[in-house]
Structure 1
Amino acid sequence: MSHVPPTRDDILASSTASAMPSETVTESTRLRNRFQAIANMNRVFAIRADEKVAFLTDPRLDRRVVDAISGIARANGATVREFMWHSTRNTEIPAEARPLVEDSDFVVSTWFASTGCPFANTMRREKGQRWVKITFFRDLDLLDTPQARFPVDLVGEIIRATARSYPRGAAFDMRFTDPRGSDLNIKFTPQMTENLLGITRWKGINTADAPGCYVHYLPTHGPNLYGATAHRREPGAHAEMEGIVYPQWAVGFPRPFEEKIGVEFKDDFIVKIHGNGREADALREYLIGARLNELGCGFNPKAPRFQVYPAGPNSPGGLHFGCNAVKESEYLRRAIPNWEEPHIHMDFVTFDTTVKLGNTTLIDNGFLMSLRDEKVVAAARRYGDPVELLESFAQ
């Protein structure tokens, strides 16, 4: 009787068949990983002796986060005070909180107002206050994630390499295309480029030690490819922009879009929502006339590749088109009532966009080209295998 060779089905049916290493993480590895993340955390929260630290928080924040950062402050001889608002969605720093903020050197905030509020910007610009936004650190257990232990200096190197891709001293077109037919063009002037890249975040500063800095922790939500900072936040200023984006997904929708939805822009503003169905109707209901405030890109290769909530993907090459409307979305108030962003906001998302800066390819089909920059690769070698660190994305 001849031997019957095993089939593919036989292999698949075997309980011991494996061609990949075990996914079990040993306790010693888990401990090493956590202390690597803690080392990053200590560097970001660069609190100094005798400083006054203000927490601007909300009731849904994991209290362990406040305790952990307070421990860093206490270890450095700083004092801590806290102001809790009923949600994160305020677009202005409340009058009740301003005396505390004014009397502080270092601010840790969950509030949406942290970046766009003129008062907060004045505190950073004129008083040199250092701010850390913790939208992406609302749960202490995030310390155990790959993005928490990804080297903070390497995030900065990726950001600086991306900045070097922008043409300097000349006008150029920033163009967005994808397989669905998106085609959006933003005309950059030399001054817009200087304004955009002039902020500390584009210098790759992700530790809160420079006067007037504003950083995110976890260090994943990088500076915007385009936004209000290109115009120094001057009221009424806008880019010459025209075209349409067909997003794959958006915050507040349980699944990626099945129907093709187009968002048409003209000079920073949404002029039309294309498409049929409930999803398009929900967007159309409040977004006509909304302004594109931030066109953001992720810069941490270990951030989850397809995580959209709460403010768009933080994985390199994933884009979010952040728009603010003049009225709240009734759909979002029902679907995500406790969203960390105000319900006038919307983050449209793409994972496969190609972005050109004139003749330079910034992103190729969702891959951020600066991940292969020579300086980035050289910096990555200090921490391990550059390919694993930079191109093995967390799914």
Structure 2
Amino acid sequence: MTPATNFVGLPPAEDPQIVGIRDQFQAMDNFTQVFAIRPGDRVLFLADPLLDPRVIQAVLGLVRSRGATARIYMEPSTRVTEVPEGIRALLEDATFVVSTWFCSIIDPLCIQLRRQGQRWVKITYFRNLDLLKTPQARFPLDVIGELTRATAARYPEGEAFDLRFTDERGSDFRIHFTPEMRQRQLATNRWRGKMTAEENGAYVHYLPTHGPNLWDHNSVNNDLSVATEMSGVLYPQWAIGFAKPFEERIGVHFDGEYVSRVEGESDEAKVLREMLVGGRMIEGGGCGFNPKAPRHTVYPAGSNAPGALHFGIDLAQPSDYIRRVMPDWEEPPVHMDLITLDGTVLAGDNLLIDKGFLCALRDPAVVELASRYGDPIELLEVPVY
């Protein structure tokens, strides 16, 4: 019998000794573009003890090269739910903020300062400098931006519509959009394809993987007192803090924005029932837009592969399960992300995602732009697992 090792039908993997420097500089160029620090910027780094200190040094090196200044402030963990009173003045003085903190997106002061022009980079996905060596770190920023714009163009304009999420397990969840909600949602910098913190008021992620949410409270000017019309059921495949996808078909039912019940008999269903009932939807389909983000890596906040979705639920009370299983999770134990990798999403009659495939990946403008950086099929449609 011929040994399996004797069969060679595919090319060998690229030798990192040959291409490593090329890949490194491509990733570093993305890094310097996203961290669009200007001469004279007052940079504030909101850090935590578990962050790779090399990440801080990398940002400080860029600060020096740009003729800016920096301060570093560290909290005991990333799970900061509001800006501490003692550093409000520091934050208000900054022109550019790099943050690992959970409250970065939701704290009213942070929102207010961005409206006044402060620029932010959230680094949930850059906690280790070695991530610069990954395919997602060097994926062309312009292509990610074009993917988001092409997806935004599928939202019906000038009319009310439902954003509908379905899958083969039976999910059927709808979020109602008015024309005004659409306009506000898609006016945010990431929906306009802006992947860098160059623009005043920017809020971007680095690594550039976590795309904008298909729905969130940007649609109502971040006024959490405004209720959005939504209802239905989701059958997630997975959730943060669980080692593998669920074997049981677990149903999470919503009455408006709030989880009303969880159906299922497995241990996972029991945990989710105790955790989720009474929780509020705050991210209706966080969507990945980086074709080289690992599809089956859902920690810490959902897969960022194109077409993968996560639904962020703010819990009615802290979860003991999260405290036990993820004591050092980057998010506080009052939040959970439900994951689907095979969902279908319609905006009105327009198809955004087809069974987990982001339809904009085949838009002519996206393909044409990707062809400037390499083979568009390899760049856009060869996933990383």
Alignment TM-score, normalising by the size of structure 2: 0.98
More displaced stretch, 158-167 vs 285-294: 285-294
Question: What residue in structure 1 maps to residue 335 of structure 2?
Answer: 345
Question: What residue in structure 2 maps to residue 182 of structure 1?
Answer: 171
One-letter amino acid of the structure 1 residue matched with residue 350 of structure 2: T
One-letter amino acid of the structure 2 residue matched with residue 174 of structure 1: L
Question: What residue in structure 1 maps to residue 11 of structure 2?
Answer: 21
Structure 2 residue aligned with 1:210, among 176, 199, 205? 199
Q: In 2, distance between residues paired with 1:263 and 1:310?
A: 21
Structure 2 residue aligned with 1:82, among 62, 72, 85? 72
Q: In 1, distance between residues paired with 2:292 and 2:162?
A: 30
Q: In 1, distance between residues paired with 2:329 and 2:256?
A: 28
Question: What residue in structure 1 maps to residue 354 of structure 2?
Answer: 364
More displaced stretch, 90-99 vs 339-348: 90-99
Name the count of aligned residue pairs: 384
Contact 2:217 2:224 in 1 (8 A): no
Could you list the per-position Cα deviations for residues 13-34 of structure 1 after superposition, in whole angstroms to 9, with x for gaps in the alignment? 2422121111252313011001
Aligned-pair CA distance for 1:153 = 1.1
Instruction: Work out whether 1:114 is the aligned partner of 2:127.
Output: no
Question: What residue in structure 1 maps to residue 28 of structure 2?
Answer: 38
Runs of 4+ in 1 over 3 A off after TM superposition: none
Aligned-pair CA distance for 1:131 = 0.2
Q: In 2, distance between residues paired with 1:201 and 1:83?
A: 27
One-letter amino acid of the structure 1 residue matched with residue 369 of structure 2: A
In the alignment, structure 2 segments of 5+ residues that lack a partner are none
Structure 2 residue aligned with 1:195, among 178, 181, 184? 184
Q: In 1, distance between residues paired with 2:332 and 2:248?
A: 26
Aligned-pair CA distance for 1:96 = 1.7
One-letter amino acid of the structure 1 residue matched with residue 188 of structure 2: I
Q: In 2, distance between residues paired with 1:14 and 1:53?
A: 56
Structure 1 residue aligned with 2:310, among 316, 320, 345? 320
Question: What residue in structure 1 maps to residue 240 of structure 2?
Answer: 251
Contact 2:288 2:308 in 1 (8 A): yes
Question: What residue in structure 1 maps to residue 249 of structure 2?
Answer: 260
Instruction: Work out whether 1:149 is the aligned partner of 2:138.
Output: yes
One-letter amino acid of the structure 1 residue matched with residue 241 of structure 2: G
Identity percentage over the alignment?
53
Question: What residue in structure 1 maps to residue 382 of structure 2?
Answer: 392
One-letter amino acid of the structure 2 residue matched with residue 367 of structure 1: F
Kindly name which structure, 1 or 2, has the bigger radius of gyration based on alpha carbons: 1
One-letter amino acid of the structure 2 residue matched with residue 303 of structure 1: A
Structure 2 residue aligned with 1:282, among 271, 274, 283? 271
Instruction: Work out whether 1:67 is the aligned partner of 2:57.
Output: yes
Question: What residue in structure 2 maps to residue 6 of structure 1?
Answer: none
One-letter amino acid of the structure 2 residue matched with residue 311 of structure 1: A
Task: Report the aligned-residue RMSD.
Answer: 1.0
Q: In 2, distance between residues paired with 1:117 and 1:102?
A: 13
One-letter amino acid of the structure 2 residue matched with residue 374 of structure 1: P
Contact 2:277 2:316 in 1 (8 A): no
More displaced stretch, 370-379 vs 141-150: 370-379
Question: What residue in structure 1 maps to residue 154 of structure 2?
Answer: 165
One-letter amino acid of the structure 1 residue matched with residue 287 of structure 2: C
Q: In 2, distance between residues paired with 1:236 and 1:283?
A: 26
Q: In 2, distance between residues paired with 1:177 and 1:210?
A: 35
